[in-house]
Amino acid sequence: METDAPLVRVEGLGKTFGTGEAAVPALADVTLQVAAGEVVGLRGPSGSGKSTLLNIIACILEPSAGRLRLGGETVWDGAYRVADLRRLRRERIGFIFQFHNLLPFLTAVDNVALAMTLLGTELAAARARARALLDYLQVGRRAEAMPARLSGGEAQRVAIARALANRPRVILADEPTAALDSERARVVMDLLRQVAQDQQAAILVVTHDEKIFDRFDRMIALRDGRIEAAG
């Protein structure tokens, strides 16, 4: 692995859903990269391929063409080149959804700890780190709360703590501020910027949310599955 390679690199990526008459092209010839410490926004009209691209980078969805490299390692070029995809996802990628997707029957701290125990961390150590992460995200005092008792902004910060649990270098977020008001959206974005700096992570955020456009180092726009403008 090259150590100075961008953490995310996508080359000539394509994705078509279905085949023959029913084929739906979703992405064509998408090339982009995100470096350590960078927070990049991905925008575009509905159906332009944003979620498809994010899911491909997260190794949740298989591409149809091109190449995906993470941290200099080829992950997909015609086929997956990684033996254990589930492990790669859990160890190297943090995913933040539009709605927090916390497990309703676990407390905030245990939602975060679970991500670590699934990878073999002992429960006490996982809980200790989960508490530290909740403090870092300024929701430490809500550690023992059940998700239903959290406000939207608190729940989203717990979800970010969960995404950070295993210290992933690549963090992907699909409209993380869509359910938040402007002030809370800015708090969440500022926390993500801090994470990018502190952990030297590469962060890619799908967003329609114009009130946070100024929080990105750069925006990439998609239209009809192609990159329209970068800058």
Ligand X SMILES: Nc1ncnc2c1ncn2[C@@H]1O[C@H](COP(=O)(O)OP(=O)(O)OP(=O)(O)O)[C@@H](O)[C@H]1O
Task: Please give the residue ranges that form the binding site for ligand X (CB under 6 A).
Answer: 17-18, 24, 26, 44, 46-52
**Token code pair at residue 55:** 């899911």
Q: Is 54 exposed, middle or buried (0-12, 13-18, 19+ CB in 10 A)?
A: buried
| Residue 129 to residues 102, 113, 114, 136, 178, Cα–Cα distance (Å) | 18, 8, 11, 10, 28
Phi, psi for 41 (deg, rounded to 5)? -95, 145
Find the shortest distance in angstroms from Cβ 204 to ligand X. Answer: 13
Find the shortest distance in angstroms from Cβ 47 to ligand X. Answer: 4
Helix (H) / strand (E) containing 175: none
Which of 143, 220 has the CB closer to ligand X? 220
Q: Report residue 118 CA to chain centroid gap.
A: 19
Separation CA 31–CA 41 (nearest Å): 15
Cβ atoms of 200 and 3 within 8 Å: the answer is no
| Residue 123 to residues 39, 109, 110, 116, 228, Cα–Cα distance (Å) | 32, 11, 9, 8, 46
Which of 36, 57 has the CB closer to ligand X? 57
Find the shortest distance in angstroms from Cβ 206 to ligand X. Answer: 7
Cβ atoms of 227 and 31 within 8 Å: the answer is yes
Which of 25, 140 has the CB closer to ligand X? 25
**Amino acid occupying residue 179:** A
Which of 44, 153 has the CB closer to ligand X? 44
Which of 52, 107 has the CB closer to ligand X? 52
Separation CA 28–CA 12 (nearest Å): 7
Which of 122, 228 has the CB closer to ligand X? 228
Find the shortest distance in angstroms from Cβ 74 to ligand X. Answer: 23
Find the shortest distance in angstroms from Cβ 210 to ligand X. Answer: 14
Find the shortest distance in angstroms from Cβ 175 to ligand X. Answer: 8
Find the shortest distance in angstroms from Cβ 225 to ligand X. Answer: 7
Which of 3, 46 has the CB closer to ligand X? 46
